[in-house]
Structure 1
Amino acid sequence: MRKFIFSLAAFFATILSMQQVKAQISAVAETTAEIVSTLQITKETDLNFGSMFSPRNGGGTVTVNTDNQRTASSVQLATATGQSVTAAQFKVSGEPNAVFTITFPYSCNVVNIDNPDAKMLVDNFTSNVTSPATLDANGEKIIKIGATLHVYDYQAVGTYKNTADLRLTVVYN
């Protein structure tokens, strides 16, 4: 039995010694990943066109720019109501100096809260920031949105609001 084990060991030693030895070299790559903070967007101010009178000769428009200035075409503005005219304002937060894209709707409707059949179109959105935009060194950016309100002939009296269709969307590039 010892002879057999010795012969078997010699056989394997012979076979292993016949294998060609090849030079090997290798390199190691470091693998990394970084989890960044997600973009956050917070509404700070609503878009408010203020008060106006219903047109009687064909309708018109009221525009609020990103500097909270209001202009009208074929609509008489009411100024004694004490309502503030404001562009919508959003605060975007995320990774410092990160680049992101901004999208907002093509248009939306505001609806009379007492008469849901009475609507006005809001479109021609403008922004104080061009897209793509860059967050500052603190990871913040203020975005102001202005737009045009279409006031129709004999528009129903009342307060008009939208629910959720004036949605500003931001995404990292």
Structure 2
Amino acid sequence: MNKLICTAAVFAAVAFAAPAMAQSASTTGSGSITVIRPLTITKNADLKFGAVVRPSTGSGTAVVSAAGVRSVTGGVVGLASGDAPQASQFTVSGEGGQSISVTIPATFTMANGSDSLTVTTSNNLVGSAGAQTLSNAMGAAGALAFNVGGSVPISSTTTTGAYTGTFTVSAAYN
């Protein structure tokens, strides 16, 4: 009986000393990616105010709407000669159906030597410039065309001559 108790005690000690089997689990993950066309932006036309006569006294404004229509106020006179007034036009191209943000500066400067005029811009984007959508559906090319117009103050003391300037329009996927 002593032998039996001794043998049982040895088996019990071995059972408690044996390492327990660790639990394990596994699963699989997956990855995906959607590759789309890069954005491009093309200038189709420049903003042109045409030729204007400054007021003889006071000040006025020359405006070209986003639709390309020129108007003048405050004694500024628009002439038929010179460049035909027009809004600038841009086209953003990329992946159809995608949301984009368009950035147009609120103002830019046109200079004639050391003299300058500040143009305040306008545009024909519907809704927020930060929430535009390219035409068509994903898998096809999409585009968004828009115009930029502007207004420029002209006073009786504005130096005569040709004023030019540039502005940067950009677009990014949201």
Q: TM-score, normalised by structure 2?
A: 0.79
Aligned counterpart, 2:157: 154
Residue 169 of structure 1 aligns with which residue? 170
Q: How far is 1:94 from its partner?
A: 1.1
Give the match's secondary structure for 2:95: coil
Q: Deviations over 1:106-153 (max 9, x none)?
A: 2111112xxx12221101x22111321000013111011111111122
Structure 1 counterpart of 2:118, which letter? L
Does 2:65 correspond to 1:59? no
User: Matches of 2:168 and 2:48 in 1, distance apart?
Assistant: 15
**Does 1:107 pair with 2:107?**
yes
Where 1:155 maps in the other structure, the secondary structure is: coil
Paired with 1:29 and 1:86, the residues of 2 have a C-alpha distance of 56
Superposition map of 1:42-81 within 5 A: 42-74=42-74, 75-79=76-80, 81=81
Bigger-Rg structure (1/2) = 2
2: CA distance, partners of 1:95 / 1:146? 27
Give the match for residue 31 of structure 2.
Answer: 31
Letter in 1 for 2:161: G
* Residue 127 (1) aligns with residue 123 (2): yes
Contact 1:48–1:86 at 8 Å: present in 2 too? yes
Aligned length: 152
Whole-angstrom CA distance in 1 between matches of 2:156 and 2:168: 28
Q: Is the 8 A contact 1:91 1:140 kept in 2?
A: yes
The corresponding residue for 2:6 is none
Cα 1:117–1:152 shift into 2, 3 Å: farther
Deviation at 1:92, TM superposition (A): 0.3
Unpaired runs of 5+ in structure 2? 1-13
TM-score (norm 1): 0.79
1:32-72 residue CA offsets vs partner (Å, 9 max, x unmatched): 23333322111110000111002121121111111111111
Name the residue aligned to 1:144. Answer: 147
Runs of 4+ in 1 over 4 A off after TM superposition: none
Shift in Å, 1:23 = 5.0
